[in-house]
Amino acid sequence: MGDLWVFGYGSLMWRPGFAFEERMKARLGGFHRSLCIYSHVHRGTPERPGLVFGLDRGGSCIGMGFRVAEAQREEVIAYLRERELPTSVYKETTLPIRLEDGRPVRALAYIVDRGHTQYAGRLDVETAARLVAGGHGQSGPNVDYVRSAHEEILRLGLTDRWLGEVVARL
């Protein structure tokens, strides 16, 4: 099967949680990063949901590509399924990405299931900030997750005005 590429666009960018051989900025076409998923496990609960990122239809997303050695392929996939799919709000798929050095590769990615009850869609800034401020789950406060994602997005040289407004209200 060869080495595995994984596309990270949220917490995977700064905390992949698995060993990798190579890490490089990458672009995924056809999907954009969106704070569009009610978190019931990692950053919230069903009674008090937080918000986490999903890859939603349309546009493009700059994130991080990780190359995993073939020998760790199955272990990393099992880890990612446990981490990303506790409530099946994401669909696991393989999509083409373009690495910063121009190489096209196919990468494992997790896109949002718009038919899932945890799909929040596009929220206004005030609603998103309120949910993030009140969310706390198994992985900690939702505020920490959103601030860390925003910092990583800025480190990549990107601007997300809507997310910046959410962070300013936290």
pLDDT digits (tens, 9 = 90+) for 37-91: 999 999 999 999 999 999 999 999 999 999 999 999 999 999 999 999 999 999 9
- Give mean pLDDT, residues 122-138: 97
Task: Tell me the pLDDT tens digit for each residue of 92-105.
Answer: 999 999 999 999 99
pLDDT band (50, 70, 90) for residue 154: very high
* Domain range summary for the chain, segments of one domain joined by +: 4-168
Which residues have CB under 8 Å from 139's CB, separation 6+?
42, 43, 145
Alpha-carbon span 91 to 100, nearest angstrom: 25
Catalytic residue IDs: 84
| pLDDT band for position 1 (cuts 50, 70, 90) | confident
**DSSP secondary structure letters along 64-97:** EEEEE-GGGHHHHHHHHHHHH-SS--EEEEEEEE
Angle, alpha carbons 50-27-75 (nearest 5°): 65
Mean pLDDT of the chain: 96
pLDDT of residue 139: 93
CATH superfamily of 4-168: Gamma-glutamyl cyclotransferase-like (3.10.490.10)
CA distance 148 to 166: 13
